[in-house]
Amino acid sequence: MTDITQLAEGVGVYGPLVVGLLLTAGGGWAVWWIVRYLLADPMTRLSIRQAVRVRRGWKRLAPMLKLAATDKTPTALASLSNTDGKPIKPRVLIPALKVTHDAYGVIARATCLPGVGLEEFQKAAPHLANAWRCTRVAVTQDDPGQVVIRGVRLDPLKFKTEHRPTGLVPDEVARWNLGLDEYARPVSVDLTQVPGVTVAGLPGFGKTSLINCLMCDWAPSAAVQFAGADGKVKAAYEGDYADLVKRMFAFVGDDLEEANTLFHRLVALRRDRSSAIKAVLGVKSMWDVGPTEEWPLVVLIIDEAHTYFRDHKGSDPKTKKLAALAAENARLVEELVKMGRSVGILVVLATQKSTGDAIPTFIRDVCPVGLSFAQKTAEAAVAALGEEIRNWPDANPINLQDPAYVGVAAMNHQSQPGFTRIRTPYVPDACAADLAHATAHLTQDPAALLKAQLGRTQVVLRKDLDTTA
């Protein structure tokens, strides 16, 4: 009895304090919530409201979509309670749902229940999309017992994005940040151990801009050196690479002979690096020790690649010479892609032509990463991405011809099945120009670097000989 009296007294004394604290905490939370809402951009505000609706409607929606489970076994407490002989009601379990938001929509994490797992959620995805007013809903599982439901209210592919390069050395070597996928998830590709990348697509849909973005992100690293060939221009100062050429150790325009000289030069570098790699780096593959300032990753960009490879038909001596040069160019680039990986050479080929000779299939097929912006025909999509694209109609770049999709590409990566559609960001020209200017001093000829290293190695070798003598 005294216990109860003490408890009552305790409540009498502390009750108002506890209520006060709770009110303060609740008030603080509400203020924080309102401030966050007011500070958000209009797109995010819509998502915040959408997230509230999703949370509020979940308890009713889940059973309607068969995303609930019925537990007929009474809990220990229920079996002890008096039900006057009536059977104990089975419990309906609803997956717990935690909802967050971003500018494009909501991200919900739901717990799985017996009989309600990834497959059931995936089956319900189109209905969730309707109920939540989403353009698309994807369900994935990253942890056992939990699924992630991504709903996008707006199609991230249709929103142009901009990227301002930081000018900082990237944290990770050879990681290519490509943009956002159709669920606004960041997409990046690891280009370590990748010898070649192809980029195809109709003119004006973003091929050069994509390469521009890659260069801008990697340029601050002295462990990367670039060479360029642009089949659209006569000289560097007049084309898309007029600024970034400052960060290239070599550049050629549309002249087949000059391009041939550049490709020969890089093939020679490939061979020299291959013979020297054991002595200089002590390993068989550069990727075991990573690119360094002294042994940089060499990125050869071949834009409007068809200029250098296309078939020249005709029997006059001039045409014959061009045909021979084009054939040799293809052979040289093939060698670079087939054998350049271990010594740290990466070739990026871009073309607007959709025929097999634009980027010869024997080169395309050894490039593990392929991207295509919009294409006009199914054949062109196949020429760009391979036969496999026929099995993935949703991702086919023939669906990207609407101008809203400038900057959107479909990508395949040999390590995964299927294709990913990506909204690539645009780097404003002025940013690229500033960056090229700021990083121009990092440009070095990798052949000269190798020569210097070989020189040093020989000195060491001779010294070794001297000391052992």
Ligand X SMILES: Nc1ncnc2c1ncn2[C@@H]1O[C@H](COP(=O)(O)OP(=O)(O)O)[C@@H](O)[C@H]1O
Footprint of ligand X on this chain (CB under 6 A)? 160, 201, 203-209, 406-407, 424-426
The set of residues, in sequence order, having a beta carbon less than 8 Å from that of 80 and lying 6+ positions away, is: none
The entry of Mg ion, ligand X, none that residue 353 binds, CB within 5 to 8 Å by partner kind: none
Minimum CB–partner distance for residue 100 and ligand X (Å): 27
CA-to-CA distance for 199 and 189, rounded, in angstroms?
Answer: 14
Which CB sits closer to ligand X, 370 or 425? Answer: 425
Nearer to ligand X, 270 or 364 (CB): 364
Interaction partner, residue 115 (ligand X, Mg ion, none; CB < 5-8 Å by kind)? none
Residue number with CB closer to ligand X (136 or 207): 207
**Which has the closest alpha carbon to 94: 74, 117, 111, 109?**
111
- CA Rg, the chain, in Å? 30
- C-alpha count within 13 angstroms, C-beta hemisphere, residue 79: 5
Length, in residues, of the chain = 469
Shortest reach from residue 40's CB to Mg ion, in Å:
37
Q: At residue 166, what is the residue type?
A: T
Instruction: Decide if residue 198 touches Mg ion (CB under 5 A).
Output: no
What is the nearest approach in angstroms of ligand X to the Cβ of residue 437?
20
Which strands form 369-372's sheet, in the order they lie side by side? Answer: 186-190, 175-181, 420-423, 408-413, 369-372, 196-200, 345-351, 297-303, 224-230, 248-252
Rounded-to-integer distance, Cα 194 and Cα 215, Å: 16
Binding mask 134-153 for Mg ion (x = CB under 5 A): --------------------
Report the partner that residue 424 touches, choosing among Mg ion, ligand X, none (CB closer than 5 to 8 A by kind). Answer: ligand X
181-189, 201-209, 289-297, 438-446 -> range binding Mg ion (CB under 5 A):
201-209
Minimum Å distance from CB 207 to ligand X? 3
With CB under 5 to 8 Å by kind, the binding choice for 310 among Mg ion, ligand X, none is: none
Give the interface segment with Mg ion, choosing from 12-20, 90-98, 208-216, 336-344 (CB under 5 A). 208-216
We find the least distance from the C-beta atom of residue 163 to ligand X, in angstroms, to be 9
**Min dist. Cβ of residue 208 to ligand X (A):** 3
Integer CA distances (angstroms), 222 to 166, 336, 372, 442, in order: 15, 22, 29, 6
* Residue 209 interaction partner, one of ligand X, Mg ion, none, beta carbon < 5-8 Å per kind: ligand X
- Looking at the Cβ atoms of 213 and 267, the one nearer to ligand X is 213
For ligand X, the closer of residues 176 and 205 by Cβ is 205
208 binds Mg ion, rule: CB under 5 A? yes
Nearer to Mg ion, 50 or 208 (CB): 208
Comparison of 164 and 456: residue with beta carbon closer to ligand X? 164
Least separation, in Å, of the C-beta of 254 and Mg ion? 13
Nearer to Mg ion by Cβ, of 221 and 351: the residue is 351
Contact segment (CB under 5 A) with Mg ion among 206-214, 280-288, 290-298, 339-347 equals 206-214
User: Cβ neighbours of residue 443 under 8 Å, at least 6 residues apart?
Assistant: 225, 226, 246, 247, 248, 249
Binding to Mg ion (CB under 5 A) within 22-81 occurs at none
Cβ distance to Mg ion smaller for residue 54 or 248: 248
CB of 31 to ligand X, least distance (A): 38
Cα 378 from Cα 384, distance rounded (Å)? 10
Amino acid at 100: T
Q: How far is the CB of 156 from ligand X (least distance, A)?
A: 12
- 8 A C-beta contact, residue 65 and residue 128: yes
How far apart are CB 431 and Mg ion at their closest, in Å?
18
Residue nearest to ligand X (CB): 407
Question: Can you give the three-state secondary structure of 124-154, one letter per residue?
Answer: HHHHHHHHCCCCEEEEEEEECCEEEEEEECC
Select 183 or 205, whichever has its Cβ closest to Mg ion: 205
- Say if residues 338 and 324 touch (Cβ distance below 8 Å): no
- Cβ atoms of 128 and 91 within 8 Å: the answer is no
Binding interface with Mg ion (CB under 5 A): 207-208
